[in-house]
């Protein structure tokens, strides 16, 4: 039996990556290939997701200008899930069954992804999910182009612990599956590192929460006991605006209690005065401020498309850029948009990222990424203060939870399973 624990999260040796090389523009003919876009354009998550709809339209337009896919034009089919997760599942079904899309790019929250996942499994369609998430999942029909915990949350805690000397931890999140599971992983990781129970404070608030006065007061009190304290934030959506405002109101300075956020990027910061936030942190795999030719070209194309030099780029936009290019390459390699053929052809596909490296689709349907820690500047951008030396392979199952540390995901033969137990050598299904 192969030692799959050594393999965990790494691409199969010998798989050839596909490169996106410039090719002559071919005439487009035949029926359009329909691409579903499943994002919140209203409600609490619109602050983050509207831009993802916009960038998908840009990518589709660019691909059509380059000759389409398989010589056929692409046609976007856009729906507004309105930050309503049951509606997301309903509209995903409509996209696949009624609109007959060949692929869907969408969702932000994990509760959205969890809601639509059974639809994609039942109807054997494809979802490219562009946002960091809690892991503990690998589904055959889903491609996770955002960060797994080992590509964002764990490195962020390591940075705070090793570089900032943090000893007390506030795990603050929105009350749903992504923050809950991520914090479960982080809590165990911190305890394994010797952090005492009394040095960990956990708090959850509902989507759209606006009254932060008491919670921030509690954070200040927790951080006033003589040990360096930090907030690890998995707060999502427009609740971030009043949260950071209340931090400033109560004089919480980044030098005293730094906040590292996993869901605050350039788009969220563009909505309010960032001056009081200078010095606080975010952990992502891309920042607009990254100085590479690839990023400069992407930013220029984006701002030209959107018609404004004020519009920013962010990490989930890069994830859509990567996922879309991977899908195009896989379809071209397969010679068809058929879901099974694309699933078979996409593992090993390699495309450029925007930070100067490449992203590879792994057998567990996660990708390789750099990890960057950025410090908020007064212009709403991030100054990179730390980054990994190498690309990090996304891990579907956490090494720090007893129920998952023996699991791997591998959607290629002979495993072909989302949670293969390396001890019992059995497959438990697509997720727990």
> Which class for 19: exposed (0-12), middle (13-18), buried (19 or more C-beta within 10 A)?
exposed
What is the pLDDT at residue 335?
Answer: 98
Contact between 107 and 131 under an 8 Å Cβ cutoff? The reply is yes
353 touches 369 (CB < 8 A): yes
* pLDDT (0 to 100) of residue 51: 96
Q: How many CB atoms lie within 10 A of CB 381?
A: 17
Neighbouring-strand partners of residue 375: 281, 383
What's residue 28's pLDDT? 61
Q: How many CA atoms lie within 13 Å of 153's alpha carbon, on the beta-carbon side?
A: 33
Per-10-residue mean pLDDT for the chain, 432 residues long?
Answer: 33 34 51 97 94 98 98 98 97 98 97 97 98 95 97 97 97 94 96 97 95 97 96 92 91 94 89 84 97 98 97 97 98 98 98 97 98 95 96 96 94 96 84 41
pLDDT of residue 428: 86
Q: Answer for the pair 374, 280: CB distance below 8 angstroms, yes or no.
A: no
Structural domain boundaries in the chain: 20-401
Q: Is residue 7 packed enough to be buried (19+ CB in 10 Å), middle (13-18) or exposed (0-12)? A: middle
Which pLDDT does position 4 carry in this prediction? Answer: 31
d(CA 359, CA 87): 32
Looking from the CA of 154 toward its CB, the CA atoms found within 13 Å total 21
Cis peptide before 414 (omega within 30 of 0): yes
Q: What is the pLDDT of residues 60-110, one digit of tens each?
A: 999 999 999 999 999 999 999 999 999 999 999 999 999 999 999 999 999
- Long-range contacts formed by 409-413: CB under 8 A, 24+ apart: 409/138, 409/363, 409/364, 409/365, 409/366, 410/4, 410/7, 410/363, 410/364, 411/138, 411/140, 411/343, 411/347, 411/363, 411/364, 411/365, 412/12, 412/347, 412/363
- 17: phi then psi, degrees, rounded to nearest 5: -80, 155
Token pair in block for residue 315: 């990490």
Residue 392: what pLDDT? 97
HEC string for 242-259: HHHHHHHHCCCCCCCCCE
3.30.10.20, 3.40.50.2300, 3.50.50.60, 3.30.360.10: CATH of 20-401: 3.40.50.2300
d(CA 230, CA 199): 11
pLDDT for 269: 86
Question: Contact, 146 vs 252, CB < 8 A?
Answer: no
Show the DSSP H helices in 193-314 as ranges.
Answer: 213-222, 240-249, 266-269, 293-306
């Amino acid at each position: 039996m192969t030692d799959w624990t050594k393999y965990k999260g790494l691409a199969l040796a010998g798989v050839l990556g596909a490169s996106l090389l410039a090719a002559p523009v071919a005439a487009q003919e035949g029926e359009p290939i329909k691409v579903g876009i499943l994002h919140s354009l209203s409600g609490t998550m619109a602050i983050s997701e509207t831009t993802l709809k916009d960038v998908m339209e840009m990518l589709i337009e660019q691909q059509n200008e380059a000759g389409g896919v398989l010589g056929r034009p692409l046609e976007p089919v856009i729906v507004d899930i309105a930050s309503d997760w049951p509606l997301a599942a309903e509209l995903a079904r409509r996209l696949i069954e009624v609109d007959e899309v060949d692929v869907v790019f969408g969702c932000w929250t994990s509760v959205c992804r969890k809601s639509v996942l059974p639809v994609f499994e039942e109807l054997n369609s494809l979802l490219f999910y562009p946002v960091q998430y809690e892991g503990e999942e690998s589904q055959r029909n889903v491609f996770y182009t955002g960060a797994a915990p080992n590509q964002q949350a764990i490195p962020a805690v390591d940075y705070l612990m090793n570089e900032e000397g943090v000893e007390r931890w506030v795990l603050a999140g929105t009350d749903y599956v992504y923050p809950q599971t991520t914090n479960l992983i982080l809590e165990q990781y911190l305890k394994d590192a010797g952090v005492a129970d009394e040095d960990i404070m956990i708090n959850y608030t509902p989507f759209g929460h606006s009254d932060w006065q008491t919670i921030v007061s509690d954070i200040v009190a927790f951080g006033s006991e003589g040990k360096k304290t930090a907030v690890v934030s998995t707060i999502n959506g427009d609740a971030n605006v009043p949260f950071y405002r209340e931090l400033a109101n109560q004089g919480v300075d980044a030098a005293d209690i730094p906040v590292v956020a996993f869901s605050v990027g350039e788009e969220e910061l563009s909505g309010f005065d960032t001056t009081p936030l200078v010095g606080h942190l975010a952990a992502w795999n891309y920042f607009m401020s990254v100085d590479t030719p690839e990023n400069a070209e992407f930013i220029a194309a984006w701002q030209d498309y959107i018609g404004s030099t004020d519009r920013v780029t962010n990490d989930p936009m890069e994830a859509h850029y990567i996922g879309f290019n991977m899908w195009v390459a896989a379809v071209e390699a397969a010679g068809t948009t058929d879901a099974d053929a694309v699933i078979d052809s996409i593992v090993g596909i390699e495309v450029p990222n925007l930070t100067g490296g490449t992203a590879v689709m792994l057998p567990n349907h996660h990708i390789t990424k750099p990890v960057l820690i950025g410090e908020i500047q007064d212009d709403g951008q991030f100054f990179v203060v730390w980054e990994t030396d190498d690309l990090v392979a996304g891990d579907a199952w956490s090494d720090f939870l007893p129920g998952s540390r023996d699991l791997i995901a591998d959607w290629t033969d002979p495993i072909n399973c989302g949670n293969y137990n390396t001890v019992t050598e059995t497959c438990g299904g697509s997720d727990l």
